[in-house]
Homo-oligomer: A and B are copies of this chain.
Amino acid sequence: MSGSPGETYERPHRPPRPEGAPAADRRSGIREAALRLFATQSYRSTTMTDIGAVVGMRGPSLYKHVASKHELLAEIMIGTMEQLIADNTAAVAGTDDVREQLRRSVEAHIRYHARHRLEAFVGNREIGSLEQPDQDRVLARRSDYERRFRELIERGMAERAFGVQSARIASYSILDMGIGVASWFREGGEFTVDQLAYQYGDIALRIVGVRTPDVPGGDQ
């Protein structure tokens, strides 16, 4: 729930290149640098000079590897949504039980937001920075992703496994609490990613009305 992920960078004149770094890694190195800078300074405030400095070249030299600054943002954001959708597909594949599918969906959601904090953070803050047609591409994938959770909850309702006042609000609340994880989670803190995922799985089940241990006054 705090501000943007904070790190510090140095920006020497002609520096941090491992000399003989394979040209193939160039592009992914640039993407990683861009991601870090977009997350900490915002897309708009990050300059090509900034990105270049991290990977050890001048701003204009980046155009040998990428078409534009916007392309870097679009790749990050579309890749993020594709990964979330793929993870969700894998999560629900292993079982037919709607409770277990919800738990696994939420755990995958949390795991992604904890392990790929920067991607998730940028993905949620920079939607307005995307130009068309990339913005629509990302929004379409977001709708798809949201729909999976809503329909899962609706199925749980139909099977009388879940009980909520509104499947839409239940799904938003579950998704939004996961999104929040990208803002405050830090590896090496009080909880591991796995512990976090499990706890949020429990919380999601409680939201849809499934009984979980740790009820008030003991585990009855």
Contact = CB atoms under 8 A, between A and B. Distances in A.
A200 B173 contact: yes
Copies in the complex: 2
A110 to B, nearest CB: 10
Given A4-B128, A40-B128, A128-B41, A214 B169 contact: no
Interface in A2-26: 2-4
A92 interface: no
Interface stretch (A53-61, A66-74, A82-90, A175-183): A175-183
Contacts of A191: 166, 169
A118 to B, nearest CB: 13
A69 to B, nearest CB: 14
B45 A170 contact: no
B200 A169 contact: yes
Interface string A116-137: 0000000001011100000100
A162 to B, nearest CB: 6
Contacts of A170: 203
Chain A to chain B: the 8 pairs with minimum beta-carbon distance, closest first: A176-B180, A3-B127, A173-B177, A44-B44, A4-B128, A163-B216, A163-B214, A160-B217
